C-alpha cells in the first residue's frame, strides 16, 4: 500500500467507464488502486440524459474521495476526438458528433476532463497498472459482447491517424463463411471470437447435436459461460463450439502477432475467465499460424484488472493529461 504524502492527500482522479447500458465512476489513486465506485444504469440514450446520470455518479465519487482529485477521465465507446472530447460516432448510443467532454467540463469547471475510447483507456490501465507493466509492446483484447482492444508499441499507445488504431475486432478472419458483425461486415474477428461469437458457434452447430445438454438451457440464458462449462464437462456440442471458437480466436491472435509483434497479449472479458482451458488450447494454434515473427516470443496471458481496467485507465489518462503509456523521463520520480 502506498502511503499518502505527509500533510497532503494522495493524488487521484475520477475514472468513468461509460457503457451502453451502465455507467461506473471510481476514485482511482496514482498507483491504480480503486477507492470506491458509484454506478447507475442507463436507459435513456439521449445525450442530455446520459450526461445527467454520468454527472450524478461523478459527483458522488468526488464527494466520497479523500484524495486530491486531479481530473475526471471518461472512457466511452465510439470514435472520439480526445482533444475536444467530442464523440464523433458511437453505435452503442446512436450518437454522432456529441460534445460530451464539453458538457462535462461545464458541469465540473474546477477539474480537467479527459474523454477517450473505452477500449484504449482499458489498454492504458492494463499497461500501466496491470499485466502490461514492464513491457514495451503490449496488446489488450477484451472478449466480451464484442472485442475491444488496444495496442502499445514501443511504449506508446497507438491511436492512429483518426483515432482508429486498435480496432482489432473488425479485421475479417472469415469473410466468406463467418457471422455478420455489428459493423456490417461478415466474419470480423469480433463476430467470430467474442463471447457473442461463442454463442453463435454453438447455435450454428446445434442441429448436429440433438442430445446436447445445451439444448436444455433456455435460449435467452444460453451465455458463453454455460457453453464453456458444458465443454469442460465434456458435452460434445459445447466442445465442438469451443473448438470452432478457439480456432477463430487463434487466427486473430496470430494476425495480431504479425501486425505488431507484441511481447504480451492480455485477454480480458468474460470468456477469458476460462483461463487455462482456453490458453492451453489456443497457444499451440497460434504458434502454428505464426510465421516470420519468431515463434514462442509472444506471451498470451489473462488480463488482471478485469472490469476495472477501463475506469483505471480513464483516471490514469486524466492524471497524465492524455493517453500517455509512458511518462516523459523528467516526470518520472
Ligand atoms: Zn466488424
Contact 136, 211 (CB under 8 A): no
Q: What is the pLDDT of residue 71?
A: 97
Coil, helix or strand for 176? coil
Task: Output the CA 6–ligand 1 centroid distance in Å.
Answer: 51
* Long-range contacts at 257-262 (CB < 8 A, ≥ 24 apart): 257/286, 257/290, 257/293, 257/298, 258/290, 258/291, 258/292, 258/293, 260/137, 260/139, 260/151, 260/153, 260/158, 261/137, 261/293, 261/297, 261/298, 262/135, 262/137, 262/138, 262/139, 262/151, 262/152, 262/298
Task: Output the CA 195–ligand 1 centroid distance in Å.
Answer: 14
Task: Output the CA 170–ligand 1 centroid distance in Å.
Answer: 4
Task: Output the CA 17–ligand 1 centroid distance in Å.
Answer: 22
Hey, what's the cell of 303? Answer: 488480463
What digits encode the pLDDT tens for the residues 252-300?
999 999 999 999 999 999 999 999 999 999 999 999 999 999 999 999 9
CA distance 142 to 223: 16
| pTM (2 d.p.) | 0.94
Task: Output the CA 280–ligand 1 centroid distance in Å.
Answer: 27
CA distance 186 to 179: 6
Task: Output the CA 228–ligand 1 centroid distance in Å.
Answer: 23
Task: Output the CA 104–ligand 1 centroid distance in Å.
Answer: 30
Task: Output the CA 166–ligand 1 centroid distance in Å.
Answer: 13
**Residues with CB in 5 Å of ion ligand 1:** 170, 181, 183, 185, 188
Measured between its terminal Cα atoms, the distance across the chain in Å is 18
Task: Output the CA 192–ligand 1 centroid distance in Å.
Answer: 10
Task: Output the CA 269–ligand 1 centroid distance in Å.
Answer: 18
What digits encode the pLDDT tens for the residues 152-189?
999 999 999 999 999 999 999 999 999 999 999 999 99
Q: What is the pLDDT of residue 113?
A: 97
Residue 175, CA atoms < 13 Å, CB-side half-sphere: 3
In eight-state DSSP terms, residue 173 is S
Task: Output the CA 199–ligand 1 centroid distance in Å.
Answer: 17
Task: Output the CA 325–ligand 1 centroid distance in Å.
Answer: 27
Task: Output the CA 188–ligand 1 centroid distance in Å.
Answer: 5
Q: What is the pLDDT of residue 7?
A: 52
Domains of the chain in sequence order: 11-124+308-331 (3.30.420.40), 134-304 (3.30.420.40)
Q: What stretches in the chain show pLDDT beneath 50?
A: 1-6
Amino acid at each position: 500500500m502506498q502511503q499518502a504524502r505527509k500533510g497532503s492527500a494522495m493524488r487521484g482522479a475520477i475514472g468513468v467507464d461509460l457503457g451502453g447500458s451502465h455507467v461506473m465512476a471510481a476514485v482511482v489513486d496514482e498507483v491504480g488502486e480503486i477507492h470506491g465506485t458509484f454506478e447507475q444504469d442507463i436507459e435513456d440514450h439521449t445525450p442530455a440524459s446520459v450526461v445527467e446520470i454520468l454527472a450524478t455518479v461523478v459527483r458522488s465519487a468526488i464527494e466520497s474521495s479523500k484524495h486530491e482529485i486531479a481530473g475526471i477521465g471518461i472512457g466511452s465507446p465510439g470514435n472520439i476526438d480526445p482533444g475536444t472530447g467530442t464523440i464523433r460516432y458511437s453505435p452503442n448510443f446512436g450518437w454522432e458528433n456529441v460534445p460530451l467532454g464539453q458538457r462535462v467540463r461545464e458541469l465540473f469547471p474546477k477539474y480537467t476532463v479527459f474523454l477517450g475510447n473505452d477500449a484504449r483507456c482499458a489498454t492504458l490501465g492494463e499497461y500501466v497498472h496491470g499485466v502490461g507493466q514492464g513491457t514495451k509492446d503490449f496488446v489488450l483484447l477484451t472478449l466480451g459482447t464484442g472485442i475491444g482492444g488496444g495496442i502499445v508499441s514501443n511504449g506508446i499507445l497507438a491511436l492512429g491517424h483518426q483515432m482508429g488504431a486498435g480496432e482489432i475486432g473488425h479485421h475479417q478472419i472469415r469473410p466468406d463463411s463467418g457471422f455478420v458483425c455489428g459493423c456490417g461486415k461478415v466474419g470480423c474477428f469480433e463476430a467470430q471470437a467474442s463471447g457473442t461469437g461463442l454463442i453463435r458457434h454453438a447455435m450454428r452447430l446445434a442441429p448436429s447435436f440433438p442430445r446436447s445438454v445445451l439444448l436444455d438451457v433456455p435460449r435467452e440464458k444460453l451465455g458463453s459461460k454455460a457453453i464453456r462449462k458444458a465443454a469442460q464437462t465434456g458435452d460434445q456440442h459445447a466442445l465442438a463450439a469451443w473448438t470452432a471458437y478457439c480456432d477463430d480466436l487463434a487466427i486473430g491472435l496470430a494476425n495480431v502477432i504479425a501486425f505488431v509483434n507484441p511481447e504480451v497479449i492480455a485477454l480480458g472479458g468474460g470468456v477469458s475467465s476460462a483461463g487455462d482451458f482456453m490458453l492451453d488450447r489456443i497457444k499451440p494454434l497460434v504458434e502454428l499460424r505464426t510465421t516470420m515473427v519468431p515463434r514462442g516470443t509472444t506471451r498470451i496471458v489473462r488480463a488482471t484488472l478485469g472490469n476495472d481496467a477501463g475506469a483505471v485507465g480513464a483516471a490514469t489518462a486524466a492524471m497524465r493529461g492524455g493517453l500517455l503509456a509512458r511518462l516523459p523521463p523528467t516526470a518520472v520520480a
